[in-house]
Structure 1
């Protein structure tokens, strides 16, 4: 019997019989990759264009998710002396704002670097490892991973809609 070919970008499918950690990592990386694929091939102007009433843009999503990665993994699980966990809605809203000189490439590179740093930090701890959280008391690494899957998937959906509005392209890949 021939085995079906599985698209290698579908990490969650490939990890379907893996352990809990492999499955969590695969889903998070899949959604991270989806966000990056949504901005690839766009001009800087298209990525920065506002298509909805909020400040949400494709480029802004990259900036926001870069902040989110650092906030949840570096600031909570491996904080440096200058790392401060951002808790306010104003901080979250500001994280979508683009800065002079932001480009698709610089934003994508920063996001990829933040994701890699998050992977390295997360790999140092067991899923049951807990850290203090300024609003929730304590959170486990498992909870943080699931939260980041939810957050990234939500924004991947936003990116999908914004990309379709930009040039008609649809799909996760």
Structure 2
């Protein structure tokens, strides 16, 4: 039976998900779907760029939001108008924007691909998404799918998600790309 959270539990769970500490103060299997959805968003967002928290990081999310705002603004302005992307009074460089958007895209693609594997194995959609985002963002929260009885292939998939989330996906791809460690 789904249940809501007390204000204290909601604050503690949101903080745990956002900072990716993975500490649960309630049984997450009993949460309402909306509460699970909020925790999924918190886990996916993660903490600050300089922190050890997982997820896509707050600054990258702000860059994505700023780029969407600029796209809407530019549609309304004359073609010759010049608008520089900036956050907090600091101009964003093209490479910084590219890096942030690529990491967000790779994070989303990894989560979607892994989620499809869980859906194919017959797990409920919201719970499967919760588990995959938790693993990819290196949070450690669970709604009961992850455990000793999970199929070995899905355990391996979640392990790869955790590795990609911890190292960051681009760093892992560079590590696995033969051109970085093998010179013919």
Fold equivalence (TM over 0.5): no
The structure number with the bigger radius of gyration is 2
Give me the TM-score of the superposition, normalised by structure 1.
Answer: 0.27
| TM-score, with length taken from structure 2 | 0.25
- Which one has more relative contact order, counting CA pairs under 8 Å at least 6 apart? 1
